[in-house]
Structure 1
Amino acid sequence: MNFLAKYQFDFNACIHEGISYLSRAQEAEALSKLSSAYENELTNSANTSQENLEIPIVSTADLLFTERIKNRFHEWRNGIMKNSYTDHYLKEEPGCVTSQFQTVFFKMRPAIELNGFNSHQMKLIQLVLRKQFKDLVFIGTPGEEVVFEKKVVYTDSEEDKALLMREVLEDLHRSKEARVRSAVGLRHVIDCLVSEQKLIVGHNCFLDIAHVYSKFFGPLPSSIMEFALSVHENFPNIVDTMHLLNSSHALQYLMKKSSKSLSSAFSLLCPEVSSYSVKSAHASYVKFEIQADEAGSSNWTSGAKHEAGFDAFMTGCLFAQECAHLGIKFDLSLPLTNLAANEKLKDYINLLYPSWNSGIVIDLTTGIEKPESNYKRKYPTVLFSNIVLLWGFLSKFKPKDLKDCITKVFGAS
């Protein structure tokens, strides 16, 4: 928290603005709804009846307005049909300025752009057009800042009108699709990782991957096998540094009985970059070169676990050191190699721990769980048939009190 505050991190931004992203499932749902709405709009535009549309006159002002609008559109259309289409046919009249009717072209057709009318007047204009002008079409198109521009477009036939409506609906559909895709936001980072198909490195990362999946792909599948296969489809190469520590005899020897937690493994295997490291008997260290801005570079070796990406830094260093102990050499003078295909590493890839201290790994390529080959159980096997769940105790009731009660009844053993 202190680190983030020091560099002016806005803790309220996610509350005020939110973190913009859509999961794949959300994006697919939004696009599906758009497509369905688009098909409905196409059907409705083709089947809209032009008959029996009465103009509701609620006041004298409405009557005068509709008559004036009708006369102006008659004048404009007649000018078009006489091939003398100019602004001359939109002369200024009392109470209606010329700027409200701007002559334009829309999709290679003569049109009028309507400005300065309120919503009630726009509705009256639409009703006048439907009642009096079968060859004039009212169109709303998205403009700047999601404001719809209103136009009246001249069409020379029913076929031309149908074509115009289809073109307009296609434009609206594309505009809405673009807005949905722009809302993908942070998920673009995940999409880039998927498209690159590079090796993903984590430490005891099964839950991390499940969290990423639920946020950026969609709801978690109903079975662990389905989940594993779906993860493998998107991330074909994942390696768990904790699984490496437990499976490699060379790394087990180095770790001895030390904790396999990320911070402990980092301090033991990467002492030259760990500020809280312990002395180690081996001296085969990989040299790390980190590129960072001035603000962040001073904190790469701060030893601050779970702060500002330092866990990711520790995981990367740990993985590089593990690779070195497996005999994988990093030579900057040689072209980059595909680590996932390395003979010394490939047997450790796509094997993750689905739960803590179970001795079980899941193979992401098959979705099958299997015992870990070198697993040494520290605790007795849990027999779920012997487990009893008790609840409803008072808040002040302590575990020691429960143990005393059970001991009195069943004995200390």
Structure 2
Amino acid sequence: MASRFSYFQLHRRLYTTTSQWSVRQVRNSNFLGSLEDLKNDISDSDFIALSLQRTGSSSFPWHRLQPFDTHDTAYCKAKYAAEKFQIIQFSLCPFSVRDSKLIAHPYNFHLFPRDELNIGMPSYSFSCQVSHLTSMAREGFDFGAWVYDGISYLSRAQESIAKTQMGSQTLPPNINAVKPSSELSVADTIFVQRVKSRVKNWKDAYDSSSKTSDALLSTLKKLIVGSEQYGSRPSIVIDVYSERQVLLVLELLKEFSDDLVPVVISAKGGGTQAVRAILTSSKEDKILLEKELQYLEDKENKKFRGFREVIDVISASQKPIVSYNSLHDFTFIHSKFLAPLPTSIDEYASSLHSVFPRVHDVKHLMSKIGGLSKPMSIAAAYSYLKKQYYAPSYLDIPVEAPGNDHKPHGHNAIRLCHLFAQVCSVLKIDLSGVQSNDNECLASMLDECSNVSSFSPYHCKPKDEDVKIWAQGVRKVSCRHLVFLWGLREGLTARLLKASLEGTHEVFCEEFDVRFVDKKCAIVVFSQPDLSETFLDAINSDNIVGSLREMVSEGLRAAGYETYKKICSFDLWEADLAESLERAILEADPETAQLDINYSNDSFIYLNDL
């Protein structure tokens, strides 16, 4: 009894001190200083929890993830939301578990997709939901600071485009590893000899200028060989017309590597415009120049990347990431910080896995506990565990963090750390094993609950996968058992609709279930897949009879699961599912499509006649 009392004391203490949690609030004005601290905290931690606050989510009921969604349709919905809405707050919490003590370092980044470089990126516009903004306003969120001091960013793909548009000067990759891909052609040989002669004459001009007192003569020599100044150091610019010529020049300059530092000059239209060779006075001067160039390149990269520096730090750490809704979180992360989302879920999983190899979904992990038949928020899941299981752990957060304003922004990442530790404790997963990397049980059990990995090609379910339905609890059936119905009379409930369908056709003599997806569309679940096909054939037939014919004459329409997949894949996101299904059927009908493009001359307005 004493231990249980102390456990509830602990949880009461954790909940009553929520408002005192010290979360570092990071905006553009304190971003660079916080970035260095974050790097250290990530390095010292074993896991990284993340939670996103968005400008909105799915606007209409059927746009949200449904129990009957397959992996493909779920990805399509997550992709649609990620491309439509923006991330307002990105909460990060590097943490470790030592015995029963959870050590957390929470950060909350405020993001705004401002066009810092005047290049039209990262975003021209995005959608907002009033309910989301209202909720944030109640929490005291400063929308003015968000707009004017929010951290901007470019994705990796956008950074590449921006550098192409603006041009840049960068150090080449390891010059000792640079080699042309094949034997030299005649044209290559002529190009190399010409460049080699020019570089040699240029160097000789500077060597001779140091031995002569005739300033005019030395200046003329430098002008003839095309010398320029790079700061206080002499340089020469070598024009190139292909990436192969870039490699040839870099290979050639290795002969002068004791004196020269090459810099690649990008063209604004894309590709490489030239290679600049900078002459140094000594080995120490060369090292100093390379450090200066690397500093300038890093500074320019930070200007392009903005908040994406954080994403790159997380990726480079290779630390396991903890999320509560990994599909939605990481479609947003991929879309905003990596590249446009692929159309295929397999391509998405492969791309994501290359950047974040280990992502653990706590919601998926909780399904192994049992008793959780429907989705829960982080707070509800934590409350459920508190009531049902004894799994104590202390939460150790720095008393005061720079930039903390004691508002609730970013607290979800802290809750997620604690929830993850609680779930692992219930499942007898020893998180302290991650520090020594010798706990095979820990690695295997956590990898099993990695929901992102379950979307990867090597963990994919069969294409004809089962989906969940509501029928006396939750059970799974093949998606081939499902039929969508719309064009129904107003005021129908699922029970009345089921009663209306019974006896209208032989397929309804077998077991079936009916549920509404939204106000205008219902889903029928048959006990056998061939019954759905029989019903679809019947309802679209001219020989339909009886009460089913009356329902069809009143507007009843039906479609199988393939039509539902089509509207998700082709982005037919109408407000009502019925409208989207109707549109998909119309667009699939070639006769209807032909009618849509046969216009009458009378329907045009000619400006010359006005």
Q: TM-score, with normalisation over the residues of structure 2?
A: 0.36
The aligned residue for residue 83 of structure 1 is 214
The aligned residue for residue 65 of structure 1 is none
The aligned residue for residue 362 of structure 2 is 241
The aligned residue for residue 411 of structure 1 is 500
2:312 matches 1:182: no
Give the Cα–Cα distance (whole angstroms) in 1 for the partners of residues 264 and 445 of structure 2: 52
User: How far does the alpha carbon of each residue in 1:324-356 deviate from its partner, in whole angstroms, 9 at most, with x for none?
Assistant: 12223456xx993449x64145244265558xx
Greater RCO (Cα-Cα under 8 Å, separation 6 or more): 2
Match of 1:378 among 450, 463, 474: 474
User: How far does the alpha carbon of each residue in 1:265-301 deviate from its partner, in whole angstroms, 9 at most, with x for none?
Assistant: 11122x4xxxxxxxx25433222222252785966xx
CA 1:176 to 1:345, structure 2 compared with 1: closer, same or farther past 3 Å? closer
More strand as a share of residues: 2
The aligned residue for residue 314 of structure 1 is 415
The aligned residue for residue 392 of structure 2 is 285
Give the Cα–Cα distance (whole angstroms) in 2 for the partners of residues 372 and 290 of structure 1: 43
CA 1:407 to 1:284, structure 2 compared with 1: closer, same or farther past 3 Å? closer
Structure 2 letter corresponding to 1:349: D
Query: 1:222, CA displacement in angstroms?
Result: 2.2
CA 1:329 to 1:411, structure 2 compared with 1: closer, same or farther past 3 Å? closer
Equivalent positions of 1:12-411 (< 5 A) are 12-16=144-148, 19-33=151-165, 83=214, 155-160=222-227, 164-166=236-238, 170=263, 179-246=300-367, 248=368, 251-252=369-370, 255=371, 260-269=376-385, 271=386, 280=387, 282-293=389-400, 307-329=408-430, 336-338=435-437, 342-349=440-447, 351=449, 362-364=454-456, 366=458, 368-369=460-461, 378=474, 381=477, 386-388=483-485, 401=490, 403=492, 411=500
8 A contact 1:237–1:349 mirrored in 2? yes
Query: 1:221, CA displacement in angstroms?
Result: 1.5
Structure 1 letter corresponding to 2:425: A
Give the Cα–Cα distance (whole angstroms) in 2 for the partners of residues 283 and 408 of structure 1: 45
Give the Cα–Cα distance (whole angstroms) in 2 for the partners of residues 194 and 403 of structure 1: 51
Query: 1:204, CA displacement in angstroms?
Result: 2.6
Question: Can you give the 5+ residue segments of structure 2 that lack an aligned partner in the other structure?
Answer: 1-132, 171-193, 195-211, 229-233, 239-259, 267-292, 503-610
Query: 1:182, CA displacement in angstroms?
Result: 2.4
Structure 2 letter corresponding to 1:29: I
8 A contact 2:358–2:450 mirrored in 1? no
Q: TM-score, with normalisation over the residues of structure 1?
A: 0.50
Query: 1:387, CA displacement in angstroms?
Result: 1.6
CA 1:286 to 1:230, structure 2 compared with 1: closer, same or farther past 3 Å? same
8 A contact 2:469–2:475 mirrored in 1? no
State the secondary structure of the residue aligned to 1:284. coil
Query: 1:181, CA displacement in angstroms?
Result: 4.3
What is the root-mean-square deviation in Å for CA atoms of aligned residues?
A: 5.0
Question: Can you give the 5+ residue segments of structure 1 that lack an aligned partner in the other structure?
Answer: 39-45, 47-80, 86-108, 111-134, 136-153, 272-279, 300-306, 355-360, 391-398
State the secondary structure of the residue aligned to 2:474. coil
8 A contact 2:360–2:446 mirrored in 1? yes
CA 1:320 to 1:400, structure 2 compared with 1: closer, same or farther past 3 Å? farther
Give the Cα–Cα distance (whole angstroms) in 1 for the partners of residues 389 and 161 of structure 2: 55
Structure 2 letter corresponding to 1:157: I
CA 1:13 to 1:282, structure 2 compared with 1: closer, same or farther past 3 Å? closer
8 A contact 2:318–2:357 mirrored in 1? yes
State the secondary structure of the residue aligned to 1:22. coil
CA 1:2 to 1:214, structure 2 compared with 1: closer, same or farther past 3 Å? closer
CA 1:194 to 1:335, structure 2 compared with 1: closer, same or farther past 3 Å? closer
8 A contact 1:228–1:365 mirrored in 2? yes
Query: 1:231, CA displacement in angstroms?
Result: 1.3
How many residues are matched?
269
Give the Cα–Cα distance (whole angstroms) in 2 for the partners of residues 215 and 230 of structure 1: 14
8 A contact 1:202–1:241 mirrored in 2? yes
State the secondary structure of the residue aligned to 1:362. helix
Structure 2 letter corresponding to 1:26: Q
Give the Cα–Cα distance (whole angstroms) in 2 for the partners of residues 284 and 17 of structure 1: 41
8 A contact 1:221–1:227 mirrored in 2? yes
Structure 2 letter corresponding to 1:286: S
User: How far does the alpha carbon of each residue in 1:132-191 deviate from its partner, in whole angstroms, 9 at most, with x for none?
Assistant: xxx5xxxxxxxxxxxxxxxxxx93423546954459995976768853442211011111
CA 1:256 to 1:172, structure 2 compared with 1: closer, same or farther past 3 Å? closer
Query: 1:216, CA displacement in angstroms?
Result: 0.5
Give the Cα–Cα distance (whole angstroms) in 2 for the partners of residues 298 and 375 of structure 1: 43
8 A contact 1:229–1:367 mirrored in 2? no
User: How far does the alpha carbon of each residue in 1:215-247 deviate from its partner, in whole angstroms, 9 at most, with x for none?
Assistant: 11001122101111121111111111111111x
State the secondary structure of the residue aligned to 2:319. coil
Give the Cα–Cα distance (whole angstroms) in 1 for the partners of residues 343 and 165 of structure 2: 25
State the secondary structure of the residue aligned to 1:183. helix
CA 1:12 to 1:5, structure 2 compared with 1: closer, same or farther past 3 Å? same
Give the Cα–Cα distance (whole angstroms) in 2 for the partners of residues 349 and 311 of structure 1: 23
Structure 2 letter corresponding to 1:313: I
8 A contact 2:324–2:361 mirrored in 1? yes
State the secondary structure of the residue aligned to 1:21. coil
CA 1:240 to 1:168, structure 2 compared with 1: closer, same or farther past 3 Å? closer
Query: 1:84, CA displacement in angstroms?
Result: 6.4
8 A contact 1:240–1:349 mirrored in 2? no
Structure 2 letter corresponding to 1:293: E
State the secondary structure of the residue aligned to 1:231. helix
8 A contact 2:169–2:264 mirrored in 1? no
Structure 1 letter corresponding to 2:357: P
